[in-house]
Every structure is written in C-alpha cells, then in structure tokens.
Amino acid sequence: MKAWRTMVAVMMIFTIVGTGCTFFDKANGVILYGSERAVDNTLTSYGKDATFSKKLPFKEQQTEKGKVMILSADSAKALLDAAVLQQVKDQDKVAKLKNASVVKEQAGVLYAKSEVRDFHLDGVALHYDGNCIIGDSRILVDMFAIVSNKDYENMNGEEKIIGLLNAGKDLSAKMKDLSKQVEAVQLVKFES
C-alpha cells in the first residue's frame, strides 16, 4: 500500500513538471469584463494597493458566426504589453503571444478557436490569425478581432470595458464577489 502511494505521488510530480503546471503558481490579479461603471467600481474596490490597473475599451457584437469582441489596435497593444494575450498551441499548452499581426484600415485580424474564412464585420475584412485567448481561457465571447483605431470608431457593437488588475496577491477567494460585480471575471498571473 505504501509503495502504491509513493508511486502515485511520483507520477503526479512528473505530470506537473512535464506539463509545466504547478500548484504554487497562483494568480496575482484578475481580468474584468463589463460596463464601464461596473469595472470602475470593481477596480476602485479591489485596486487600493494594486501594482497595476488599466481599463481598455472594446465593443461586443453578435454575428452569425458567434459573439465577437472588437479591439482597437491600441487596446490590443496594451493587452500585449500586459502579457495576457496567449496563443493556444494545442489543447493543453499556451504561450504568450509576442506580437499581433499588423492591422490596416479595413483589414483586421480575427482570433478564434477554429478557422473562420471570408469574415467581414462593418466593412472590415478580418483574416483568421490563429487560436488565441485573453488570459488563460476563452471567456465572454467566441472570438476577438483587432482592427485599426480608425475602423474601431466606426464599428457597431455594445461598448464595454476590459479591466486589468494586478493586485499583487491571490484573489481566488474573492471570485464569487467579483463575479457578482462585473459581467465576467477571470484569474490571471501577471508577470512582475
């Protein structure tokens, strides 16, 4: 019986090390999604001793291919700078996205779980650029698009805010309360 427990413990350690997972790599912040008022209130409530906090606008639009988050080039750059954009390599592995494709007027990029072809949104042609996520999971929308700052101004959709909050501590115990305050929330590990 003791040998069996030891073998299980060793296998768990190898699995954790082999997949890059760790029980000790705790989230030190959150990404919030919702109305400007809700995100502002939440950032104010939880960001008193924050290392970093930032608000980024986006537009949400329902299409025949799913719900799309529309980001301006400036907002996408801020997400890249915060190192919260991740490229999904396969089912289990993600890697920080180093840079997003360059967008031009009326030519943007689209990130989704699977390839989307011939997609136009409000006169902007969006080409599929891979399976990327914000934070550690796909939340709130099915896909997100990055368009030029000028195109962003002309895009339709409900205006919302992404709030980035590096609290410098694990907020997992506060998730229930946080999820009541905003439309969606996810734990994230910000790099120092």
What is the per-residue pLDDT across 78-120, written as a single tens digit (0 to 9) for each?
Answer: 999 999 999 998 777 888 888 888 899 999 999 999 999 999 9
What is the torsional sign of CA 192, 170, 143, 177? negative
The pLDDT score that the predictor gives to residue 131 is 94
Averaged over 158-186, what is the pLDDT? 95
What is the torsional sign of CA 98, 192, 184, 175? positive
In b/e form, how buried is each residue of 160-174, taking b as 16+ CB within 10 angstroms? bbbbbbbbeeebeeb
136 has pLDDT over 80: yes
DSSP H/E element including 56: strand 52-63
Sheet of strand 119-121, all strands in order from the earlier edge strand to the far edge: 119-121, 124-128, 107-112, 143-147, 66-72, 52-63, 158-166, 29-34, 184-188
Residue bearing the bigger pLDDT, 134 or 99: 134
Please answer whether residues 116 and 67 qualify as being in contact, where contact means their C-beta atoms are separated by less than 8 angstroms.
Answer: no
Proportion of the chain above pLDDT 90, given as a percent: 70
The pLDDT score that the predictor gives to residue 9 is 44
183 has pLDDT over 60: yes
How do residues 13-51 score in pLDDT, each as one tens digit?
A: 444 444 344 444 688 999 999 999 999 999 999 888 889
The pLDDT score that the predictor gives to residue 55 is 97
Q: How far apart are CA 146 and CA 173, in angstroms?
A: 33
Q: How far apart are CA 35 and CA 56, in angstroms?
A: 11
The pLDDT score that the predictor gives to residue 14 is 43
The pLDDT score that the predictor gives to residue 41 is 95
Helices (H), the chain: 2-19, 36-46, 73-81, 149-154, 175-181
